[in-house]
Amino acid sequence: MDFLIQRDELLRALSRVQGVVEKRSTNPILSAVLLQAHEGGLRVTATDKAMTFIGNFAANVNIPGEVAVDAANVFAVAKVLAADVVSVSLGDNQRVDLRCGKSYYKLAGQAAAEFQPTPAFEASGSLSIEASDLRNIIDQTWFSIAPDDNRYGLNGAHLDTVETPQGRMLRMVGTDGNRLSWAQGPFTGTLSIGRRMLLPRKPLAEVRKMIDGLSGPVGIDFGERAVVIRFEGVTVHMRLLEAEFPNYKEVLPTNFKRRVVVDRDVFMEGLRRVSIFATDGSHSVRFAFTTDGLVLTARKLDAGDAREEVAIDFSGDPITMGFNARFIQDVLAALKSTRVTLELGDTLSPCILKPMDEDNALFVVMPVRLD
């Protein structure tokens, strides 16, 4: 194996796999990236068994070949190279020789045959969605997915299709039992994911990183227990979780007694200042809603109190509620709207937050007890 590649292209390839490979695996091959030099360029493959990344990158190949090399080591080397062109060749005993300008590295490699084979996949349906829309729906739902792998039915994102006045939408839903988020965007094609199948949290986050700044369509193919996502020379194979997602439409509150409209940035800044003292287990902040405005307060034992006033448009009877400050902050950070609507019921009823100027996202946050 012998090829030349631009330093930036090599760095782009290796940076994409850092979140895929296992950092502390007892199986060294799961910490490796497979480099395959062929006539068309360089193919880079990485996997953690639940997710497999395959990317094609530009390279001038003199001698085809393949080798697996520790992903973290070769990435650390690529980051510090000074020259533009990198020479990579395979020596004896699976040693990888890497030259760039006056720098020379010899890296330990492993036989490509030891690398995990790419999972077999047979598509039963596919759809296409713009990268910007996919980024948006991931950003507005990912943080609500339960991080605990043992939370059956809550540890992945649910996909659904809905009919709206703007047309058919692909909706992604996430919940951890204390909050729920859904966001949707237009698409073409067919959603054919199984009813008991969920998109896992970690691979979803990695896909979001990979499509950052990307424009154009992203293809999503659905198999029996897997999804394949394709864009700009990249293929991501994602193993689905088998679990029953709760019927989220039944738990969405529909009746409200109070409505709040608030400037997103002002609300976010006020909450950020008060939440410094929201250090209990539930990061609780007291929200006092009146026609005069919103008063946010938090107390830290043995330290003191924090208080902030936020201007709002409020309709309904005054009410005081408690919320996990981080849950509200996550919603505000995900929103792009300058104005946010809050719909409230009673003291322990869920709160719905929505962007004021569009209907393609909705967030539900459960309150916390203040006694």
CATH number at residue 139: 3.10.150.10
- Give residue 239's pLDDT: 94
Q: How far apart are CA 214 and CA 233, in angstroms?
A: 12
Is residue 26 within 8 A of residue 60, CB to CB? The reply is no
- Give residue 153's pLDDT: 81
Give 49's pLDDT tier (boundaries 50, 70, 90).
Answer: confident
Helix axes 7-17, 71-80, angle to 10 degrees: 150
Please give the structure tokens belonging to residue 169.
């939408």
Range name among 34-48, 184-198, 246-260, 316-330 with the lowest pLDDT average:
246-260
Is residue 281 within 8 A of residue 322, CB to CB? The reply is no
Average pLDDT, rounded, for the chain: 93
Looking at the structure, do residues 264 and 342 belong to the same domain, yes or no? yes
Q: What is the CA radius of gyration of the chain?
A: 25
Q: How far apart are CA 351 and CA 356, in angstroms?
A: 15
Paired with 259 in beta bridges are 315, 343
Which of 223, 250, 277 is a domain's end point?
Answer: 250
Looking at the structure, do residues 273 and 230 belong to the same domain, yes or no? no
Paired with 341 in beta bridges are 261, 354
Percent of the chain at pLDDT > 90 equals 82
Q: How far apart are CA 316 and CA 257, in angstroms?
A: 6
- Give residue 146's pLDDT: 92
- Give residue 194's pLDDT: 86
Structural domain total, the chain: 3
Nearest to 35 by CA among 121, 107, 122, 120: 107
Which of 205, 232, 250 is a domain's end point?
Answer: 250
Give 179's pLDDT tier (boundaries 50, 70, 90).
Answer: very high
pTM of the entire predicted model: 0.91
Q: How far apart are CA 199 and CA 229, in angstroms?
A: 12
Please name the residue ranges forming H helices in the chain: 7-17, 71-80, 131-139, 201-210, 248-251, 264-274, 325-334
Query: Looking at residues 319-336, what average pLDDT do you find?
Result: 95
Element (H, E) at 218: strand 217-222
- Give residue 174's pLDDT: 96
Looking at the structure, do residues 276 and 185 belong to the same domain, yes or no? no
Q: What is the pLDDT of residues 143-168, one digit of tens each?
A: 999 987 777 789 899 999 999 998 99
Please give the structure tokens belonging to residue 185.
């965007």
Residue where the block lists tokens 């539930």: 282
Query: Looking at residues 48-63, what average pLDDT do you find?
Result: 95
Give 103's pLDDT tier (boundaries 50, 70, 90).
Answer: very high
Please give the structure tokens belonging to residue 216.
């154009």
The answer on pLDDT for 371 being more than 80 is no
Looking at the structure, do residues 129 and 245 belong to the same domain, yes or no? yes
Q: What is the pLDDT of residues 215-226, one digit of tens each?
A: 999 999 999 899
The answer on pLDDT for 119 being more than 90 is no
Which of 203, 235, 250 is a domain's end point?
Answer: 250
Looking at the structure, do residues 87 and 102 belong to the same domain, yes or no? yes
β-pairing, 241-242 vs 284-290, is unpaired
Give 255's pLDDT tier (boundaries 50, 70, 90).
Answer: confident
- The reply to whether 119 falls in a domain is no
- The reply to whether 370 falls in a domain is no
Domain span holding position 235: 125-250
The answer on pLDDT for 280 being more than 80 is no
Q: How far apart are CA 205 and CA 139, in angstroms?
A: 9
